[in-house]
Structures are given as structure tokens and as C-alpha cells.
């Protein structure tokens, strides 16, 4: 590697870890929202459980999502490091902006949008692996977009089905069941944090590993242990430092969650996010959790769901991908002009 490649590689690693930090601000807070809103845990207890299991997920689980994300940009493109720098700058900037305003935007959409915009601006359409599906496994940008679009729908249906089934099973139960339901949220909160860490930290694992291969520091695409640990720690640190603006939006802004609702929402979200990670599909934790809360609210009464807030979140979601694509392209253009 020459000096420029070493510098570019260092910038990619630093930006990827910064992205994980902002991802912790955004998405890990979704593991905190339900148990805090239902008073199953204090904020401190929820934060402790979430941080512990968020850091364990990326280290213990496999690398299927990392493999998918690492394949979004063609490895034989000579400007891989430049593309990754622009994409990560766009995603980190977008995450910080939406975090500041308390909007549960999608870190996954931000990252994919930044990669597509930066890739096309730097090396044209051929720089992006558009892909599709290889059996059940998503491949390339199109496969990832399908997973990102389908996961909220599945999350909403799963939340509705789980809550409706639980209410039917407990229709004759008295108030004494509230205690066990709150206790169950300790398990679902831990499981959701583990699933989130497994899915989301692998996205930056894939990008860092792609950068290492492109720079010649790795002979093949195999995620090193230090990359797993670094990404896990960065995301967990982000969880510990912030995210309370979005906790308020998801935990109380969409639907006032009760213990059974919180258990159903977290259980449904864990199944969807964990299942996606097993398939190698990068999904948005924010999307899945928020849609499962909507499904839970709809299972009780549709008028109890604050649809105005849902519309605001949907608007933020729809704007994220094209907005980050434009931002990534603009940064890549500036990089090219500077070089």
C-alpha cells in the first residue's frame, strides 16, 4: 500500500466506527423504548441490558449480513476507498442530522443511499452491484432494497398477530399477569438488543473488510476478529451516550405501550431482525420496531394509533435513501475535484 491508500483506509475505518456510534444513537434506542415506556425497567436497567447484549451480538453471531454489504460495491473498481469515504460521510452526517431533530430515520437506508450515490458519481453504474436474490439470500443493492422494504410490513403484521394472539390467550387473566409480562420484557429486550447488534454492526464490518481487501491488507473477504470487536464496541458506546429523543418518539409518540404490547412488539421485532440476519439481509431496526408498535396498536384499536406521527416517520424514511444518495454523490464529486 502507498501512503495515500493507508490514509484512505484509516479514514474508512474511522468513519465506519463513527457510523456505528451514530447507529447506536438511532437504532439501539429502540431496544430501550418499550421497557421504559411500560415501566418494566428503569432507564438505567434498560440501558445496561441493551449495551451488554448489543456488544455480544456482533461478536458471537456470524457474518452473513457483512458478506451482503461487502458485495454492494464491485471489488475490482479502482476507487473503492474513495466511494466508501463518501458514502460513510453521507450516512454519518445524515444520522447526526436526524438524531438532532429526534427523527427515527433509517441508518441502513442512509448507508445504502450513500453507497449508491457515491459509487455512481465516482465510477458510474458499473461500480454498483445491483444484484437481486440468490435463492432466499439478498444479493446486491436490489436485494437489499427488497429486504428493507419488506421488513417493516412483516414487522407490522408480526406485531399485530402476536399481540392479538396474546390478548386472546389472556382474555380471562386478571391484573396479576402484569408482573410476569413486565418480567418477560427483560428477556425480549436482551434478545432484541442481541439481534440488533448482530444485524447492524455487520454492515460496517462488511465495509471495513471490503476496504481492507481493496487496499491489499487482506487476501480475501474474511471479517477479522478486531473488526468485529471494534464495530460492536462503537455501536454499544453510541447506545450508552444517547438516543433518548428517539426513545420518546417510538416509546410514546406512536402508541402508548402497555406491558403486553411491549412484550409483543419486542418479540415480533426480534424474530424479524434475527431472521433477516440469518438470511444475510440488512434491515432497519428502527423500521421494524416502529412498524411492530403500529401493528400492536392496530391489534387493540386502530384509532389508538397516532397516525400523524406514523406519517411523519414514513416521510423521514422515504426521504433518507434518495437524500443520502445525492449527498454521497456530492461528496464523491468534491473528492474527485480535490484529487
Higher-confidence residue of 187 and 307: namely: 187
Q: Which residue has the higher pLDDT, 29 or 160?
A: 160
Which of 210 and 32 is assigned the larger pLDDT? Answer: 210
| pLDDT of amino acid 167 | 81
At 313, is the pLDDT very low, low, confident or very high (cuts 50, 70, 90)?
Answer: low
CA angle 237, 242, 35 (to 5 degrees): 100
How large is the angle between the packed helices 80-100 and 307-338, nearest 10 degrees?
Answer: 140
For residue range 98-117, list pLDDT tens digits in order.
Answer: 778 766 677 888 899 999 99
Residues 6 or more apart whose CB falls under 8 angstroms from that of 181 comprise 40, 259, 260, 262, 263
Can you tell me the distance from the alpha carbon of 94 to that of 96, in angstroms, rounded to the nearest whole number? 5
Is residue 156 within 8 Å of residue 268, measured between CB atoms?
Answer: no
The more confident residue out of 167 and 221 is 221
Domain spans of the chain, in order of start: 3-333
Residue 318 grid cell: 422515504
- Nearest Cα neighbor of 258 from 140, 151, 150, 166 is 166
Query: Percent of the chain, pLDDT > 90?
Result: 29
Between residues 57 and 178, which one has the greater pLDDT? Answer: 57
76 three-state secondary structure: coil
- For the ranges 48-57, 128-137, 175-184, 311-320, the lowest mean pLDDT is seen at 311-320
Instruction: Encode pLDDT of 253-281 as tens digits.
Output: 655 667 888 888 889 999 999 999 999 99
Q: Is the pLDDT of residue 165 over 80?
A: yes
Beta-carbon count within 10 A of 78 CB: 10
- pLDDT attached to residue 339: 64
Rounded-to-integer distance, Cα 51 and Cα 201, Å: 13
What does the pLDDT read at residue 106?
Answer: 79
Dist. CA 192–CA 185, nearest whole Å = 10
Half-sphere exposure (CA, 13 Å, Cβ side) for 12? 28
Cell numbers 438524531 label which residue?
Answer: 99
C-alpha count within 13 angstroms, C-beta hemisphere, residue 317: 19
pLDDT tens track for 34-69: 787 777 887 778 888 888 998 898 888 888 899 888
Position 224 scores a pLDDT of: 94
More confident residue, 146 or 34: 146
Query: What is the per-residue pLDDT for 251?
Result: 54
Task: Look at residue 86 and tell me whether its pLDDT is greater than 70.
Answer: yes
pLDDT at 173: 64
Contact 36, 43 (CB under 8 A): yes
Amino acid at each position: 500500500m502507498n501512503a495515500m491508500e493507508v490514509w484512505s483506509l484509516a479514514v474508512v475505518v474511522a468513519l465506519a466506527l463513527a457510523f456505528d456510534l451514530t447507529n447506536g444513537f438511532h437504532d439501539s434506542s429502540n431496544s430501550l423504548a418499550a421497557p421504559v415506556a411500560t415501566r418494566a425497567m428503569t432507564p438505567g436497567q434498560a440501558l445496561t441490558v441493551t449495551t451488554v447484549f448489543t456488544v455480544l451480538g456482533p461478536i458471537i453471531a456470524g457474518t452473513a449480513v457483512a458478506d451482503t454489504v461487502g458485495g454492494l460495491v464491485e471489488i475490482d473498481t479502482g476507487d473503492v476507498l474513495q466511494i466508501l469515504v463518501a458514502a460513510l460521510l453521507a450516512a454519518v452526517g445524515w444520522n447526526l442530522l436526524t438524531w438532532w431533530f429526534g427523527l427515527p430515520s433509517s441508518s441502513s437506508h442512509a448507508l445504502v443511499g450513500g453507497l449508491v450515490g457515491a459509487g455512481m458519481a465516482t465510477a458510474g453504474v458499473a461500480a454498483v452491484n445491483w444484484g437481486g436474490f440468490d435463492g432466499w439470500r439478498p444479493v446486491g443493492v436490489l436485494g437489499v432494497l427488497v429486504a428493507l422494504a419488506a421488513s417493516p410490513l412483516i414487522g407490522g403484521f408480526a406485531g399485530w398477530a402476536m399481540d392479538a394472539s396474546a390478548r386472546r390467550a389472556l382474555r380471562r387473566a386478571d391484573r396479576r399477569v402484569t408482573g410476569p409480562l413486565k418480567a418477560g420484557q427483560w428477556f425480549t429486550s436482551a434478545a432484541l438488543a442481541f439481534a440488533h447488534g448482530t444485524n447492524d454492526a455487520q454492515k460496517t464490518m462488511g465495509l471495513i473488510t471490503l476496504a481492507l481487501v481493496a487496499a491489499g491488507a487482506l487476501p480475501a473477504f474474511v471479517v477479522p476478529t478486531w473488526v468485529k470487536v471494534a464495530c460492536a464496541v462503537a455501536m454499544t458506546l453510541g447506545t450508552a451516550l444517547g438516543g433518548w429523543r428517539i426513545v420518546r418518539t417510538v416509546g410514546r409518540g406512536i402508541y402508548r405501550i402497555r406491558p403486553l404490547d411491549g412484550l409483543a412488539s419486542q418479540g415480533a421485532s426480534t424474530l424479524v431482525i434475527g431472521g433477516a440476519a440469518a438470511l444475510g439481509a440488512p434491515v432497519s431496526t428502527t423500521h421494524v420496531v416502529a412498524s411492530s408498535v403500529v401493528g400492536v396498536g392496530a391489534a387493540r384499536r386502530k384509532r389508538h394509533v397516532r397516525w400523524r406521527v406514523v406519517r411523519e416517520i414514513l416521510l423521514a424514511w422515504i426521504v433518507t435513501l434518495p437524500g443520502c444518495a445525492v449527498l454521497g454523490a456530492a461528496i464523491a464529486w468534491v473528492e474527485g475535484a480535490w484529487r
